[in-house]
Chains A and B, each alone.
Chain A
């Protein structure tokens, strides 16, 4: 029987009070962004906010609890932005969005940091036995968002990023699922040869954890070859952004098959229109009708993208819709 799991790719918006408090505590300029050694007052504000978003997920009845990545001022580039071997330079555009992050420039060996593991440990305590989900940028996207001034060539840099993420993931507390977010696989699709290396890098990071690993590309569908290579990695599920592109995602699955588990990005992480849970469930049925497979072991129902793009109340409504959709799907399947 298929298990329907409601979840999110993390990177939540801050609750509005935390937006205000942290603006006041940290400031608005480039050098005011998170450094990894924030003072007690700032750390306390983040702790309160983290507690709030974890309770929010529990109240919504989501099947996986994420830490929320509220400290990730630089979005997916965060793990590098707080690293000692990285200089943060100018503000650069975050994909095709009206959002910006500090360009992380790697200038030295990327040794172990533990920043994300520390966050996750706190979250594990707060989750209090509920299934925890870790979130990391995938190695290809993290390399794509960064600039290398140390390792010398593209292949060596991707390798170094994979090693780094592998060590970070290895330090994570026990968790049920790991989401590796890989928008760059769509947005800046790897060329021939690089696509294979990207898959190997993902495989390496996935190998560091015992949890189920979901690789979530978004803002469209993967190119065929990139998708085919991704399936070579030892991962449990590939994610599909059905908000941005239905046709090509279905084509990939029909043509190349997919993993035993699947992640469906069905709620729009970048629009305030809150989906009706029934409508989400119907989309699931519709996708099933298009596919050659009879059943998946696990179907993750999620927003297609991170959710920090949304106003806080709409973000909460999206979580509730996803949780309810997963319940409806479960009932129907049973």
Chain B
């Protein structure tokens, strides 16, 4: 590395030994990835009582899928990989099944004929067995790359459940935050260094950002400094949570901006963005692979907000609803674009001005 390149130790720990350029734009994903069709078929067989496909077979199928998608992420060239959340069904349900105090009463409507098993909190939530350590250890063993662990955040776990047991959702969110903290401690013990907290519910109720902030304080309590903690917040009116979120005790914000064509980019220019920015550079809701050139332009948008050492490159959101080949195409093009931008930065070819948006004339 040239002596002139500023360092960001927390981020640079994910730089691979054979990374060619001085500049390093960490490339990663939000988490979910399309499941191979055979995995869904295997699940049907497992759920069919008349079939002899048993729990062991189902476990093997999930292991195979996790290996496959982790390898697919490696093949795309990502610096930090995920198993595509092959073992998880839905982002609240998966955790609710593992937390004492939750029960399930059947599916509820989200929209049209899309339903989810919205759980009910019926008693104080408690930590039982670990939620993700097995998943992490398996993926880490299956890959040479650093593994990122996405965890649904306590605010979303509280907000997207029925609350029968707590006076309000805030109290529930804080109790859940303590459990998330316990889980992260176990993950760190197992070797995890990159944790992402997903809080999509914050996009719908931005006025609750202080609750999310307090929950994060509980989540990071006694977690070592070098463990990278990110926060993913899906598309919403970001001006209602910025700059307040800069106070959150996290290293990185993962934001969905490609979907809105970077209309909200200026929100993050003033005041100065002091954390790392994991910028969404490919749209998770459009089933068309953006060209490498297009993604390069999107990455440059991020450089209008933060210097290269604070920039991380990622898709807007989980890509599980895309056709698998489209999801792969987006990952591969994203990595290629990031490597091109790094080379251009090394060569001093990029001259992007970072500044506060020009104030409108009075």
Which A residues fall within an 8 A CB radius of B?
Answer: 13-14, 16, 19, 22-23, 26-30, 32-33, 73, 91, 93-94, 96, 98-101, 270-273, 308-314
Chain B nearest CB, measured from A271 CB (Å):
5
Among candidates A19, A33, A270, A272, residue contacting B107 with C-beta atoms closer than 8 Å: A19
Q: Of B110-118, B306-314, B325-333, which stretch is located at the interface? A: B110-118
Q: Are A96 and B108 closer than 8 Å at their CB atoms?
A: no
CA distance A311 to B122 in the complex (A): 15
Q: Are A26 and B204 closer than 8 Å at their CB atoms?
A: no
The residues of B that contact A27 with a CB separation of less than 8 Å are 113
Q: Are B109 and A28 closer than 8 Å at their CB atoms?
A: no
With A28-B114, A272-B120, A272-B162 known to touch, is A96 a contact of B106 (CB < 8 Å)?
no
Q: Are A273 and B162 closer than 8 Å at their CB atoms?
A: yes
Q: Are A32 and B112 closer than 8 Å at their CB atoms?
A: yes
With A98-B160, A98-B204, A273-B162 known to touch, is A314 a contact of B113 (CB < 8 Å)?
no
The residues of B that contact A312 with a CB separation of less than 8 Å are 106
With A272-B105, A311-B105, A312-B106 known to touch, is A19 a contact of B111 (CB < 8 Å)?
no
The residues of A that contact B112 with a CB separation of less than 8 Å are 26, 28-30, 32-33, 73
Residue of B whose beta carbon sits closest to that of A101: B111
Q: Are A99 and B109 closer than 8 Å at their CB atoms?
A: yes
Assess whether B340 is interfacial by the CB under 8 Å rule. no
The residues of B that contact A309 with a CB separation of less than 8 Å are 108-109
Given contacts A271-B163, A308-B108, A311-B106, 18 further A-B contacts (CB under 8 A): A13-B109, A19-B107, A19-B109, A19-B113, A19-B115, A22-B113, A23-B113, A23-B115, A28-B114, A32-B112, A33-B112, A91-B111, A98-B110, A101-B111, A272-B164, A308-B109, A309-B108, A309-B109
CA distance A73 to B159 in the complex (A): 23
With A98-B201, A271-B164 known to touch, is A310 a contact of B108 (CB < 8 Å)?
yes
Number of A-B contacts (CB under 8 A): 68
Q: Are A99 and B111 closer than 8 Å at their CB atoms?
A: yes
CA distance A26 to B113 in the complex (A): 8
Which B residues fall within an 8 A CB radius of A?
Answer: 105-115, 118, 120, 159-160, 162-164, 201, 204-205
Q: Are B106 and A313 closer than 8 Å at their CB atoms?
A: yes
The residues of B that contact A22 with a CB separation of less than 8 Å are 113
The residues of B that contact A13 with a CB separation of less than 8 Å are 108-109
Q: Are A311 and B113 closer than 8 Å at their CB atoms?
A: no
Chain A nearest CB, measured from B310 CB (Å):
32
Q: Are A311 and B109 closer than 8 Å at their CB atoms?
A: no
Residue of B whose beta carbon sits closest to that of A18: B113
Residue of B whose beta carbon sits closest to that of A34: B112
CA distance A27 to B160 in the complex (A): 24
Q: Which of B106, B112, B118, B205 has the most C-beta atoms of chain A within 10 angstroms of its own C-beta? A: B112
The residues of B that contact A91 with a CB separation of less than 8 Å are 111
Residue of A whose beta carbon sits closest to that of B107: A19
CA distance A14 to B108 in the complex (A): 9
The residues of A that contact B107 with a CB separation of less than 8 Å are 16, 19, 311
CA distance A312 to B115 in the complex (A): 12
CA distance A13 to B105 in the complex (A): 13
CA distance A16 to B106 in the complex (A): 8
Chain B nearest CB, measured from A318 CB (Å):
12
With A22-B113, A73-B112, A271-B162 known to touch, is A311 a contact of B118 (CB < 8 Å)?
yes
CA distance A29 to B120 in the complex (A): 27
Q: Please, could you name 7 A-B residue pairs with CB atoms under 8 Å apart, sorted by A?
A: A73-B111, A98-B204, A271-B162, A309-B108, A309-B109, A311-B108, A313-B106
CA distance A311 to B112 in the complex (A): 15
Residue of A whose beta carbon sits closest to that of B120: A272
The residues of A that contact B120 with a CB separation of less than 8 Å are 272-273
Residue of B whose beta carbon sits closest to that of A30: B112
Chain A nearest CB, measured from B200 CB (Å):
9
Q: Are B105 and A28 closer than 8 Å at their CB atoms?
A: no
Chain B nearest CB, measured from A123 CB (Å):
21
Chain A nearest CB, measured from B61 CB (Å):
23
CA distance A310 to B120 in the complex (A): 10
Chain B nearest CB, measured from A305 CB (Å):
13
CA distance A309 to B118 in the complex (A): 9
Residue of B whose beta carbon sits closest to that of A309: B108
CA distance A16 to B117 in the complex (A): 12
Residue of A whose beta carbon sits closest to that of B163: A271
Q: Are A100 and B111 closer than 8 Å at their CB atoms?
A: yes
The residues of A that contact B160 with a CB separation of less than 8 Å are 98
CA distance A44 to B160 in the complex (A): 33
The residues of A that contact B164 with a CB separation of less than 8 Å are 271-273
Chain A nearest CB, measured from B256 CB (Å):
15
Chain A nearest CB, measured from B208 CB (Å):
11
Residue of B whose beta carbon sits closest to that of A273: B164
Chain B nearest CB, measured from A24 CB (Å):
9
Chain B nearest CB, measured from A216 CB (Å):
20
With A32-B113, A273-B162 known to touch, is A96 a contact of B205 (CB < 8 Å)?
yes
Chain A nearest CB, measured from B246 CB (Å):
25
The residues of A that contact B113 with a CB separation of less than 8 Å are 19, 22-23, 26-28, 32, 73
CA distance A32 to B112 in the complex (A): 8
CA distance A33 to B114 in the complex (A): 11
Q: Are A99 and B105 closer than 8 Å at their CB atoms?
A: no
The residues of A that contact B159 with a CB separation of less than 8 Å are 98
Q: Are B105 and A314 closer than 8 Å at their CB atoms?
A: yes
The residues of B that contact A26 with a CB separation of less than 8 Å are 112-113
CA distance A272 to B120 in the complex (A): 7
Residue of B whose beta carbon sits closest to that of A271: B162
CA distance A73 to B111 in the complex (A): 7
CA distance A308 to B111 in the complex (A): 11
Residue of B whose beta carbon sits closest to that of A94: B111
The residues of A that contact B204 with a CB separation of less than 8 Å are 93, 96, 98
Chain B nearest CB, measured from A183 CB (Å):
16
Residue of A whose beta carbon sits closest to that of B207: A96
The residues of A that contact B205 with a CB separation of less than 8 Å are 96
The residues of B that contact A314 with a CB separation of less than 8 Å are 105-106
Chain A nearest CB, measured from B137 CB (Å):
32
The residues of B that contact A271 with a CB separation of less than 8 Å are 162-164
The residues of B that contact A270 with a CB separation of less than 8 Å are 162
The residues of A that contact B108 with a CB separation of less than 8 Å are 13, 308-311
